[in-house]
């Protein structure tokens, strides 16, 4: 069973890889857009800027969603010991009843 720190580290690496891939894709798209653009420079720059803003907004939303998901998971993990502590007295009673 993985411990909490290993899980956090693996999740953080996964999120970092996704963010890096999105950033790389954004840069590649912008470069290709400028290279193959048939429009005037001002129009091309405007299109690239609008596209970059859209991608940045998309990335921001994905990061917010993932942060919310990870926060929820973290809360559940932190609540688990409390839940187990609350179960312990009942478990002890059942165990004592079985023994007698």
CA distance 16 to 12: 6
- SS3 helix, strand, coil % of the chain, rounded to 5? 90, 0, 10
Query: Quick check: pTM over 0.75?
Result: no
List the structure tokens of 72: 């929820």
23 to 2, 45, 58, 81: CA distances (angstroms): 30, 18, 11, 39
Domain that holds residue 87: 4-99
pLDDT at 83: 64
For residue range 4-35, list pLDDT tens digits in order.
Answer: 666 667 777 777 888 888 888 888 887 787 77
Residue 65 in tokens: 């969603």
Residue 86: which pLDDT band, with cuts at 50, 70 and 90?
A: low
Structural domains of the chain, count: 1
The set of residues, in sequence order, having a beta carbon less than 8 Å from that of 38 and lying 6+ positions away, is none
pLDDT of residue 63 exceeding 70, the answer is yes
State the pLDDT at residue 100. Answer: 67
Q: To the nearest whole number, what is the mean pLDDT of the chain? A: 77
Q: Residues of the chain with pLDDT > 90: what percent?
A: 1
């Amino acid at each position: 069973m993985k411990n909490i720190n290993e899980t956090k580290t693996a999740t953080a690496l996964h999120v970092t890889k996704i963010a890096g891939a999105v950033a790389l894709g954004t840069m590649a798209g912008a470069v290709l857009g400028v290279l193959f653009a048939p429009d005037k420079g001002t129009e091309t720059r405007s299109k690239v800027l609008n596209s970059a803003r859209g991608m940045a907004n998309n990335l921001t939303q994905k990061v917010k969603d993932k942060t919310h998901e990870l926060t929820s998971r973290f809360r559940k993990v932190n609540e688990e010991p409390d839940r187990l502590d609350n179960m312990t007295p009942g478990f002890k009673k059942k165990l004592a009843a079985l023994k007698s």
